Structure 1
Amino acid sequence: MALDPDIRQMVFWLGYGAGHGVSVVLPPGGPREPPEIPTYAPADLVARLQKLDGELTDDLAVVAALRATVDSARCWQEPDGEDVVARLREVAAALHEVAEAILSSTTAAGWNAARGVEQWAADWRAEGDTSPLPSGARSVLVDWDRAQRDEERRAESERPRDPHANWSGTWWSVPQTILSTRGRVKDALELVEDSAGWDAATVIPVRGTGRELEISSRHDWAELCRAYPLAVTASRRHDWFRVTGRDGRWLIPDWPRIAEEWDAVHLTTFAYLCAATTLIAIDAEYATVIGGWAPDSTLWLTDVAREWEGPRQQWVRLSGSDEWIREN
């Protein structure tokens, strides 16, 4: 859509025609009759997609698209018009070809890489904050576990079982208060699900070693849930039904138990793009969703990560822009 305005227009109106697009707003004093709506078929969109070629490997375009993908990830609401159009069979087939081209870009070459030695943690508190890295991971996970189980019990008794009910709750599947790091500074700042619109951050250099588990596919995540299951059906039922259309039983990983065997868990960018915010089957009864995580992100489940000798960096977002600049 960013590369071709015609594609952007086709996606908008195809989504609108499917009942998922943005409403057409008439200007004050304008005509009483709605404007004529362009008519497109999925085949028109497919034809335009097939004309995209070398532009798909442009690194700036790929990075911008990745940023937009993470920014628009939602685990608490129905698919929007763009999602509906992308799921059309013929459009999805054309997007497979687009994906193949993107994967040949220089940027995508590192999407399957394991965690690097040097990592970065973004501290979104007051600019120039000198607080130490979060510690006490075991205590954090114990509190997280208690909160999940308490919410599940309350949800089981208080929330309606009808998945269509207008109810929302916790939708993420990883602890949000545990130390999380990224391999690149810009990724720590720009690739954030459901960001709060922060415009300043302190970026802290981190190094850590230990027993590390790699999540490089949806199968790895399903296996993690299968090996360390935590039932969250009642607390996730409504949000994840809206996202996936599935009415069934749900699991997420039991992170305190995982911490008994692993010090860190790393999600590759490729696994994020293939699996996050989508339905992941575990078995005939259970399924799961990756929500609230981020590409190339490492969760530190024990206190093996430390701030290293590199200086902390102060970054600010340019006003009215997605671009971040370093101040020191």
Structure 2
Amino acid sequence: MSVDADVLLAGPRGRRLCLEYALACASRAETTESRAAANTIWWAAGAFETNGTTIVLRSRGDRTRYDPPTASPADAAAALDVIELDAPTPATLRDALAASVQAAMYWQEPDGRDLLCATDDVRAALRRVAAFLSGSPLAGWWSDGVAEGDQWAVPWDGAGRASPDVAMDLRGWHERTLADNALAVRERPDDPAAPWSGPWWSIPPTSLVRTTRGLAGDGPAGLWFVEDSFGEDAASATPVDVYPARVVEIDGPEDWARLCAQHPLDVTASRRQDWYRVTGLDRRWIIPDWVAVAAEADAVHLSVAGYLSTATRLVEVDGGGASVLAGWNPDETFWFRGTSARPAGAQRWRRENDVWERVAD
């Protein structure tokens, strides 16, 4: 399958991927024009920073007053138009996607680049990049469902070993989620802008087996695409055999909204302040009740296209609620049942200079 350009422009993560790809092309070009374009975009994004970012300007020794340049979204859009785009490779697409994932935040306001990408001028300029990337066969798998014959878990995903009692884990998650929300009702103000934070994610229990496909010689996708990463630089990737009867596929905001509407769990009080910072809106917040989902499915899979078009944005849910897909990683599958790890096939990986490489056995 192919990914559509409109999908890449639909959500903050898709737009950010397009911007990061263009900036990487400008960096590789190393021409005066490309450096000037990148600088314009940098200054335009800086004007949107709201999280206390400090820009340090160093003098070269004279006492001449330095007035920092200013750049508008229109200037950034014009700069994007002059950047020559390199033909995609697995590495350049991987790195742009990884950069977008690493910039995802749910506990504070979007950063300057995300806000810049949301402006009409820059969004229009990014269409050229989105069309260019969506036309590459190398991005075709971004809309694919779970790759049943090629699934891998990494250490922070439970090493691929199923819990001895998934039903108990799900019940425990449900009880903790309700307790967190009840505590927030008692202790937190109703003001969405109040300086409170708490659980901001909407993923199934982390005790479940989580897998992603392999990226050929790059190892599992789960090594590269991690929201809110702790910066691990070593991993043991475990192959996992899967036997699903039904996988719920999330390939866009409509799928996420449908899942929330079919199995709603109200978490308004516990998510109110964090998701207000992300979306700028105060709503009745809903996440899927994973106990109910697990009763009907073996697994739930988020495609790359689903991630790029859905994460870090408000998703309207039938019935007057809304939701945020938060804490997920691209191509990630959570398994309720139907997995078997193959520890004998485990591989060791190490990251150096932001690149994962397999360690010889």
> What is the TM-score with the length of structure 2 in the denominator?
0.83
In structure 1, what is the Cα distance between the partners aligned to 2:64 and 2:169?
A: 58
Q: In the superposition, relative to structure 1, how do residues 314 and 133 fare at CA in structure 2: closer, same or farther (>3 Å)?
A: farther
Letter in 1 for 2:226: V
Q: 1:248 aligns with which of 269, 283, 286?
A: 283
Match of 2:40 in 1: 10
Secondary structure of the equivalent of 1:10? helix
Partner Cα distance (2:274, 2:118) in 1:
20
Counterpart for residue 136 of structure 1: 165
Unaligned runs of 5+ in 2: 1-22, 27-34
Q: 1:207, 1:307 within 8 Å by CA — same for their partners in 2?
A: yes
Aligned to 1:197: 231
| Structure 1 residue matching 2:235: 3-state secondary structure | strand
Offset, 1:61:
1.9
- Alpha carbons of structure 1 residues 177 and 24: separation in structure 2 relative to 1, 3 Å: same
Q: Which structure 2 residues correspond to residues 118-137 of structure 1 after superposition, within 5 A?
A: 118-124=150-156, 132-137=161-166
Correspondence 1:152 to 2:186: no
Once the 2 structures are TM-superposed, how far is the Cα of residue 33 of structure 1 from its aligned partner? 8.1
Which residue in the other structure is 2:355 paired with?
323
Specify whether residues 220 and 19 from structure 1 end up closer, same or farther in structure 2 by C-alpha distance, changes over 3 A only: closer
How far does residue 59 in structure 1 lie from its aligned partner after superposition? 3.5
Aligned-pair identity (%): 38
Which region of structure 1 is more displaced relative to structure 2, 109-118 or 32-41? 32-41
Letter matched to residue 316 of structure 1: R
Name whichever of 72-81 and 148-157 sits farther off: 72-81
- Residue 264 (str. 1) matches residue 264 (str. 2): no
> Which runs of structure 2 are paired with 1:283-302 in the superposition (5 Å)?
283=318, 285-302=320-337
CA distance in structure 2 between the aligned counterparts of 1:66 and 1:208, rounded to whole angstroms: 26
Higher helix share: 2
Q: Give the distance between the partners of 2:155 and 2:300, measured in 1 at CA.
A: 20
Aligned-residue offset at 1:299: 0.5
Instruction: After superposition, give the CA deviation of every residue in 1:267-308 in whole Å (9 maximum; x if it has no partner).
Output: 100010011111111136210000111111110022x11114
CA-atom RMSD, angstroms? Answer: 2.4
Contact 1:57 1:104 in 2 (8 A): no
Paired residue secondary structure (1:111):
helix
Contact 1:222 1:280 in 2 (8 A): yes
User: Which stretch has the larger CA shift, 27-36 or 100-109?
Assistant: 27-36
* SS of 1:2 mapped into structure 2: helix
- Going from structure 1 to structure 2, the CA distance change for 1:77 and 1:31 (only over 3 Å counts) comes to farther
Give the distance between the partners of 2:121 and 2:306, measured in 1 at CA.
24
Residues 44-67 of structure 1 deviation map (CA, whole Å, 9 limit, x = unaligned):
322232234541634422211001
Q: Which residue of 1 aligns with 2:193?
A: 164
- Give the Cα separation in 2 of the matches to 1:32 and 1:285: 59
Q: Quick one: distance in 2 between partners of 1:243 and 1:187?
A: 26
Q: What's the counterpart of residue 70 of structure 2?
A: 39
Distance 1:238 1:86 in 2: 23
Q: 1:55 is matched with which residue?
A: 86
How much does 1:43 deviate?
Answer: 2.6
Tell me if structure 1 keeps the 8 A contact 2:108–2:274: yes
Residue identity matched to 1:281: E
After TM superposition, list the pairs within 5 Å mapping 1:174-213 onto structure 2: 174-175=203-204, 176-184=206-214, 185-209=219-243, 210-213=245-248
Query: Paired residue for 1:77?
Result: 108
- Opposite residue 208 of structure 1, the aligned amino acid is V
Q: Which runs of no fewer than 5 residues in structure 1 stay unpaired? A: none
* C-alpha spacing 1:255/1:19, structure 2 compared with 1 (3 Å): closer
Deviation (angstroms), 1:124: 4.0
TM-score normalised per structure 1: 0.91
